[in-house]
Amino acid sequence: MKHLTIVVPDGQNNISSITGSYEIWSRANLFWKEKTGKNLFKIEVAGMSKEVEYEDGLFAVRPHTQITAIAKTDLVLIPSLNHNYRTAVKGNQALIDWIAGQYKNGAEIASVCTGTFLLASAGLLEGKTCSTHWSVAEHFRSMFPGIDLQTDRLITDENGIYTNGGAYSFLNLLLYLIEKKYDRPTAIYCAKVFQIEMDRHSQSAFIIFKGQKQHGDEMIREAQALIENNVHERVSIEHLSSRFAIGRRNFDRRFIKATGNTPLEYTQRVKIEAAKKAFETSRKTINEVMYDVGYSDVKAFRDVFRKVTGMSPLEYRSKYNASGATPTPLPAGRP
C-alpha cells in the first residue's frame, strides 16, 4: 500500500486545505476499494506538534502522528499557509528538512497555494517552474529569485513536484493527483461527489493585477505611474523611454528587472484590468470598454484580453456582470 502524508505546519492558520484534502482523498480511497477490494493509499496527517490551532483557537487539528515517526512516504501534501508564510517558514525548519529528505528518498511533493513557500525553502524548486496565489507573487519572487514563478498556471508538474494556485483551487490539484495516482474514473467520481469543476488549468481570470511596486528603481516606478494614470490613452513605449532620456533597450531591461514584465506586457495588463472592472460593474458594450482603455482594433483587444484572462471579453462579461446574467429560476416550493 502506498502512503500519503498531509503535513500540518506549526504557526499557520489555514485548515480547509488540510481537512478538504483528507476528506477527498479518503473518498477516492473508498471508491477504489469498492472497485478493487483494497485501499491504494494509507492516509496520515502528520505534524511537529500534538495539536495546532486555527482561526484564533476556534478550530484545532490533532495530527495522527509526528513527522519523525514517518521514515518513508510516497506523496507529501503541504497545505496553504495563508498569509503567514514568512512566520511559517521560520518556525518549521524541522518540517522543511523532513520534506527535503523525503523527496531525496523518492517521495513526490505537492504544495497548495502559499504552501509553495515551504517547498521553496526546502530547496526543491530552484531552477523549476511553480505556481502560488497571485496575491503573493511579488513577495515570492523577491524571496526566491531563482525560481520560475508562473501565477497564470493553476497546476505545475515537474520531476515529482506539484504546485498549484490560490485558495480553493487546491480542489483541482487534488483531482489532478487522484487521476494520476488512481485513474480517471476515480477523479470523475470525486468531482461529481464534491461538485468540483474538472480540468481547470489556469487561474488567469481570477488575478487582480496591481502592478509590481516592491523594487528600488524610481524611474521605473514613475513609468508605471504614467502607464496606470493614462489607461485611456494609447501608450507608446518609445515615447515613454525617451521621456526618461534612456534608450529603448535599456528601458526594457530595467523594466523587466523591476517588474517581471516588459513595458508592453505591463501596459496590456493595466489596460485589461481596467477593462475587467468595466465589464464587472457597468453596462457598457465591448466596443465602448475597448475604446475606454485605449484600443481601437477589436481583434487586437480581444486577443490581448484572452491572453491575459484566458477568456474572451464576451465570456468574461457574461460570467462576472450580474446585470447581464439571467438567474436560473428556483423550483417552486411551499412557503
Read off the pTM: 0.78
8 A C-beta contact, residue 213 and residue 224: yes
Residues of the chain with pLDDT > 90, as a percent, come to 81
Give me the residue label for grid cell 492558520.
13
**H or E element, residue 36:** helix 16-36
User: CA angle at residue 199 from 194 to 204, to 5 degrees?
Assistant: 110
Q: Per DSSP, which regions of 79-153 are E strands?
A: 108-111, 129-130, 148-149
> DSSP label at 322?
G
pLDDT at residue 13 tops 80: no
Domain 218-322 class, CATH top level:
mainly alpha
- Tens of pLDDT, residue by residue over 73-128, are 999 999 999 778 888 899 999 999 999 999 999 999 999 999 999 999 999 999 99
What cell does 39 get? Answer: 485501499
Give me the residue label for grid cell 490560490.
166
Q: How confident is the model at residue 223 (pLDDT cuts 50, 70, 90)?
A: very high
The whole-angstrom separation of Cα 331 and Cα 281 is 29
- CATH topology agreement for domains 2-204 and 218-322: no
Average pLDDT rounded to a whole number, residues 275-281: 95
Q: How confident is the model at residue 203 (pLDDT cuts 50, 70, 90)?
A: confident
pLDDT at residue 335 tops 70: no
Domain 2-204 class, CATH top level:
alpha beta
pLDDT of residue 201: 80
Among candidates 272, 189, 257, 199, which has minimal Cα distance to 223?
257
pLDDT of residue 132: 95
In this predicted model, which residue has the larger pLDDT, 49 or 327?
A: 49
- Treating both helix axes as pointing N-terminal to C-terminal, what angle do 248-259 and 218-229 enclose, rounded to 10 degrees? 90
Delimit the domains of the chain by residue range: 2-204, 218-322
The total number of residues shown for the chain amounts to: 335
pLDDT at residue 327 tops 70: no
pLDDT at residue 330 tops 70: no
pLDDT at residue 329 tops 90: no
Question: 78 - beta bridge partners?
Answer: 111
The whole-angstrom separation of Cα 52 and Cα 41 is 24
